[in-house]
Chains A and B, each alone.
With several copies, the nearest count.
Chain A
Amino acid sequence: MAENRTTKALDIETAVSTLVPDVTESLWVGGMHMHNVPMALVRECIRQGKRFKTLYAAPSASLAADLLIGAGLVDHVVCGYIGFEHLGLAPAFRRAAEEDASIQITEADSGSLVLALQAGAWGQPFAVLPPGIEQTSLVKQSPSFYRQVEDPFNGTARFVVEAVRPTLALIHCQQADQFGNGIFKGSRFADRFLGLAADRVIMQVEGLVDNGQVLKYPLQTGLPGFRAAAVVQVNFGCHPTSSHRYYNYDDVHLRLYLQAAATEEGFRSYLDEYVLQPVDQEDYMRRVQNQDWGAITGEVP
């Protein structure tokens, strides 16, 4: 590539301050459960007080959604799944739903949300759902999300959902070159798909690799560079969630979060200690005391 090609590598503070509007229409965060969640980017968004009118939570949102909701930065969540899998329910989301009505929740499901995202990616105005959804409580609970059309091929009533084109997607790849060609070293979850679909993508990576390595193994590129607005290198950026091939999730820290966030006060002090106070990722890592970070900084092939 020409030498005068513009790099997309940015430091995390600059990437978030310049590429995330103070009030963003909609956000979709990559990863699933306790895996591949771009937590450093999410923490930076919270630190900078970015607000999100709508958060799409699917296929399986966890800590990112819970922190954003608990921090009061989300007006409306379209919920397919927010939880912590075998570790428990989402405490801040619970509090928002059970105790106050400050947040609007659209009850949805992961299949319909992924189909809505797919419709958005293809420029389809809406997605037709397979039969069966009419047997659930969803269509009664969320009548503006699940609408009906008549099937022109056989006259049957079909439920449909409007296309979703997220304004912003935050995604983690294990590696990328400076032009945004991202490499997944393990599961791609829904992240390749999300990266192809969203209006703007900010990509977080463990390490930057040379463009020559991307050219040598193009079949392993998970997301082509032109879809990324910026690439942000952060060590252990998914912590306490996992980054396949690099590190597992930190279930001690996740349990610490769940215990703390069980009360509003506990949530506030967790937020303060691990999100608002740290000046950068290194500072964050110093505050996480149950990890021997030095033991796991080895390079991954």
Chain B
Amino acid sequence: MSDDYKPVLRAGSDPLVFFKYPGADSEGEVARGHIMAAVMSHALRDGDVVVMGANSLIPLAAARLAQLTHAPNLTILAGASGGVNTLVEPLAPSSGDYANLIAEAVLDFPEVLMLQMGGRTDVFFAGGLQIDKQGNCNLAFTGNVSGQVTLRGPGSAGLPWAMRSGRAIVYVTSHTRKTFVEAVDFVSLPGATAEWEQGSWGGPEMVVTPLCVMDLTKQGEMRLVSLHPGVTLEDVLENTGFDLALPEEAAPITALPSPEELRILRELDPDALLVAVV
């Protein structure tokens, strides 16, 4: 969203009339946000119960896209709003937006946490200030051993419980050496734990960035899966602060969204937030 975009407060409205964002050019380029949403969508399965937290623009688009294509029985728990199966009309930047209440049900937020921590979800979307080779994510703070905090993040929020929420899909909107580090300064979300390796807990299944798609090997090391169009292996390695494992053969190019997927993503997103977000 551009900085000179000036929304006004929304007037009182009935539940089926929502805040309108200014329209964007739906004939424009395929953006990184579109590619990331489509990749995440493909990782979702029919019947999955998918939960997301704050700042979940791309995951929300991905989950709704999956619902409208290959996963009609997927359930979306739209973060702070408590909305269940929001129609995502339109895609809104804040997880607690009223737009997410064009939905089938609205849970109290403690109930969302309960379902997540109680193991009633299949997929959890997560991010972090730092992500390391083992898939650990840090949303608390960075700092050195003497206790000096160099960057105070928001806090660990719901990340500690990702392993109870099924497959974690980790995503970031910037791929740099500051984000992808050898070892996080603080573990908010445990990555490749022993329990994950044994298959008894969930854990990071996929990592999606503006440059590429990664996963974890069985040994719990982050590995390149595919490069987004126009991105080279060098781009990724230069911007990754640890030795990234590589696939046995040359990494393929991440598939673009199909024309139908792109049409749906643009329809859900009249303000082209997916273009602006990355």
Contact = CB atoms under 8 A, between A and B. Distances in A.
A and B touching (Cβ–Cβ under 8 A):
yes
A252 interface: yes
Contacts, number: 276
B101 interface: yes
B157 A59 contact: yes
B157 A109 contact: yes
B73 A187 contact: no
Contacts of B109: 32, 59, 114, 187-190
Determine chain B's interface SS by DSSP, over half rule. Answer: loop
B160 A136 contact: yes
A138 B156 CA distance: 9
Contacts of A81: 54, 154-157
Interface string A49-89: 00000000111100000000000000000011111011001
Interface in B66-116: 67-68, 72-73, 75, 80-85, 87, 93-98, 101-111, 113-116
Contacts of B189: 136
B12 A224 contact: no
B104 A245 contact: no
Contact of B113 (A59, A132, A239, A251): A59
A190 B108 contact: yes
B274 interface: no
B164 interface: yes
B241 interface: no
Given A5-B73, A189-B109, A291-B9, A86 B156 contact: no
Contact-residue bracket for chain A: 35 or more
Contacts of A79: 155
A112 B160 CA distance: 9
A60 B85 contact: no
A221 B111 CA distance: 14
A224 B84 contact: yes
A59 to B, nearest CB: 6
Contacts of A250: 7, 9
7 contacts: A80-B156, A89-B153, A109-B158, A120-B118, A219-B106, A296-B8, A300-B12
Closest 7 CB pairs of A and B: A83-B154, A221-B105, A300-B12, A2-B72, A135-B190, A97-B152, A247-B9
Given A80-B156, A187-B101, 4 more contacts: A98-B152, A216-B15, A218-B84, A242-B98
